[in-house]
Amino acid sequence: MLDQSLVMLCLVILAALLFDYINGFHDTANAIATCVSTRALSVRAAIFMAATLNFIGAMAFTKVAKTIGTGIVSGNNLTQMVVLAGVIGAIIWNIITWYYGLPSSSSHAIIGGLIGAVIAHVGSSALLWGGLEKIILALVISPILGTVAGYIFVVVFSRVLRNKSPGGVNRGFRKMQIFSAATMAFSHGTADAQKSMGVITMALLSYGAIPVFDVPTWVKIVCALAMALGTAAGGWRIIKTVGRDFVKLQPMTGFSVDSASTSVILGAAMMGLPTSTTHVVTSAILGTGLSKSINAVNWKVAQRIVLAWVLTIPSAAMVGYLVYQVLNPLLGK
């Protein structure tokens, strides 16, 4: 007879890896939209590079995984069903936003999904409000920093290179963009794969497979691999929205976006603070557009992006809540 708890653990691991895979192709745009839109790299070359560096970045840090795994739900309420429903809720929301080409946050989606699932399980009293405040504060502040950093990078470069020929500047930055896109892909891996690492480690701890919250090496490897494979699958719908429709990018502004985003994301990852790579990149793009003029930004696209940002946590929470209500009678016995 099958061990029900073991079956649930396997389902959670499979769902978390599927989330990681979808996160990879959903958020590919974050790492490569700028270098593709400025023709620094072809789509195929950019995706291959991003997949490789996503894998390497995912192996580098685990502090964010611990924040996700221990800072949202109190341990005694962190059942396998809660984790499974939360992850599936995040997956469903990611697929919806991918279909409509909206660069929403996978980080917000997994947090919202877990919130909804635990509320369905025992109510809001099981939520760790102190940890959630820290997580949400990081997610709110990071786009502001991205906007400011993107603006500053462009202003500084424009002043330093104002006497150079535009053609020469573009050629130089197009080459530099390959490096900046590589660092952006690495930082994407450090930030986003850790969400799934945290989820799987939560499930292992709940099952009793590990004594304390410590991400096993095999979890790092499979999550890094899932994200890399997802990245290799690409995400052209969102690449188009971020890299072409939002703000018209040149090699210098593309390099500025990548550099600003990497600085914010890597800095947060080293402190164990989860950030949305989607939010940081799009806000950095906004900053570069504003450095030119207000009219350089496609505000209709900006409104769609902001709408996705605002809706993601409550929408994913609602989906996570509903998924728990459906799955619990089927699998919770």
> In this structure, are residues 241 and 102 in contact, taking their beta carbons and an 8 Å threshold?
yes
Q: What is the pLDDT of residues 85-101, one digit of tens each?
A: 999 999 998 888 877 76
The pLDDT of residue 87: 92
The pLDDT of residue 113: 93
Residue 318 pLDDT grade (very low, low, confident, very high; cuts 50, 70, 90): very high
Mean pLDDT of 251-276: 84
Which residues have CB under 8 Å from 199's CB, separation 6+? Answer: 12, 16, 19, 68, 69, 83, 86, 87, 110
The pLDDT of residue 319: 95
Q: What is the pLDDT of residues 205-219, one digit of tens each?
A: 888 888 888 889 899
**CA dist 262 → 163, 186, 204 (Å):** 28, 9, 31
- Domain count across the chain: 1
The pLDDT of residue 326: 93
Run of H or E including 35? helix 28-37
The pLDDT of residue 293: 74
The pLDDT of residue 333: 55
pLDDT at 8 over 80: yes
> In this structure, are residues 312 and 106 in contact, taking their beta carbons and an 8 Å threshold?
no
10 Å Cβ neighbour count for 99? 9
- In whole angstroms, what is the distance from residue 317 CA to residue 333 CA? 23
Residue 236 pLDDT grade (very low, low, confident, very high; cuts 50, 70, 90): low
Q: Which of 260, 323, 315, 331 is nearest to 97 (CA)?
A: 315
The pLDDT of residue 247: 59
The pLDDT of residue 15: 92
- In whole angstroms, what is the distance from residue 187 CA to residue 185 CA? 5
Q: What is the pLDDT of residues 153-192, one digit of tens each?
A: 988 988 888 777 777 777 888 888 888 888 888 887 877 7
Q: Which of 80-94, 102-116, 240-254, 295-309 has the highest mean pLDDT?
A: 80-94
Query: Tokens for 121?
Result: 């399980």
pLDDT at 134 over 90: no
Residue percentage of the chain with pLDDT more than 90: 14
The pLDDT of residue 49: 82
Torsion sign over Cα 244, 250, 251, 257: negative
State phi, psi for 42 to the nearest 5 degrees.
-70, 160
Task: Tell me the residue range of the domain where 141 lies.
Answer: 4-331
- Lowest mean pLDDT segment, chosen from 52-61, 203-212, 293-302: 293-302
The pLDDT of residue 70: 76
